[in-house]
Amino acid sequence: MSENWDLVVVGGGSGGLACAQRAARHGARVALAEPGPLGGTCVNVGCVPKKLMFHAADVASVLADAPDYGFALDVRGHDWAALKARRDAYIGRLRGIYAENLAGSGATLMRAAARLAGPGRVDIGGTTHAARHVVIATGGRPSVPAVPGAEAGVTSDGFFALEARPSAVAIVGSGYVAAELSGVFAALGSRVTVAIRGERMLRDFDEMLSLRLAAAMQADGIAIETAARPAALERAAGGLTLALADGRRLGPFDCVVWAIGREPNVAGLGLAEAGVALGPGGEIATDAWQDTSVAGIHAIGDVTGRSGLTPVAISAGRRLADRLFGGQPDARLDYRLIPTVVFSHPPLGTVGLTEAEARAEYGDAAEVFRHDFMPLYHGLTARRRRAEVKLVTAGPERRIVGLHAIGMGADELLQGFAVALRLGATKRDFDDTVAIHPTSAEELVTLPG
């Protein structure tokens, strides 16, 4: 064996880095194995570059609204390649910062793939190391449908590799990736069609958010094809045609993006040989403490299939390190009331139960308070975009168990309200809070009832 470690982290994404750095700062001897770019999905082909593209789309919208605010502009189009170059350079700098922070914590970075090699052992780049604890944090990857011609499409990873903006694009999927990328493409000038398997976007979100977002997307010229199950993707001289199971044919398109979900990165890790149990979706099964079925082996982040969000992976990783090496035996992540934002156009935010979930759990004790309104920004614009908010309460004290908002600023307002829900805020608490006027956030503390 080469070396003995207190902790070996397999995977250098957000969760793995957070866990490794926290453990090292607690005094543990830590090695992190990652053959690819540091930062994982979030930094390289996820949250960060996605949010930059969201901002680019927002700039396009503001430029379109500028005449309504008295500006005479001569906009000469958009340079996708220039945006990509600046975005990629920024991501490159972030990778360097991640490496510096990891080294500064005292953890050792090993640029090699790793796999479990027996009890308390990890093979890293062909060398076996001993480890008291191993954390699997290898994340996930975009799924591709098993249909003929699927290789002609791209995933969200491929979206960030595009050197030019496609004139006509189809996005297959109804989740947050489909919602976000469709808004970017449309704002920057592409003709966009979204093909969804069911009847509504974001089907796991509160119905208010789904319906309001679909209306906004269609107002932006995005076509939404429902009950659309891909049967094949065909390439011809005119472009790509998406053939559906019911006989419909969509296209031609310059680009087709598969946004049908993600699957855990578990191949090649030696999990079966080590006896690590997997869940029904191929994810690593973990308990409330991030422990797997094998003592000393833990897993965090997207590879566990639990709430695939970067801050969740970071929080789970830090708390695990605190428990294992920081003298905090009760430290673990509470997966309840996790706030979520979709950077669609308009953005939306949600925390807690949907209306349907609350009614199923609390019955007649569930109450709903909602309001739709026109944000002041759109008071002067020809482009009219209404916003909407909803509070879901339970019990006679009207404790808030769900909060949902869509519209300008919904992404930023959610964080503070998520804190309020974790503290057990009631409708009366919101009513007794002085509103900040004029804002969209004030609508949540001025709801009648």
Q: What are the catalytic residues?
A: 437
305 contacts 264 by C-beta, under 8 angstroms: yes
For residue 211, what is the enclosing H or E element? helix 207-219
Bridge partners (DSSP) listed for residue 351: 403
252 contacts 235 by C-beta, under 8 angstroms: no
| Distance, CA of 255 to CA of 151 (rounded, Å) | 12
Q: Tell me which amino acid residue 289 is.
A: W
Q: What is the DSSP letter of 328?
A: -
Q: How far is C-alpha 338 from the chain's CA centre?
A: 12
- In angstroms, what CA-CA distances link 224 with 76, 146, 190, 215? 29, 22, 14, 10
* φ and ψ at residue 323, rounded to 5 degrees: -70, -45
- In angstroms, what CA-CA distances link 20 with 101, 193, 266, 287, 295? 11, 42, 20, 20, 19
The helix-helix angle for 14-25 and 80-105 (nearest 10°) equals: 20
| Distance, CA of 227 to CA of 194 (rounded, Å) | 11
**Residues 263, 14, 125, 28, Cα dihedral to 10°:** -130
Say whether 208 sits in a helix, a strand or coil: helix
Q: Residues with Cβ < 8 Å from 24, sequence gap 6 or more? A: 30, 105, 106, 107
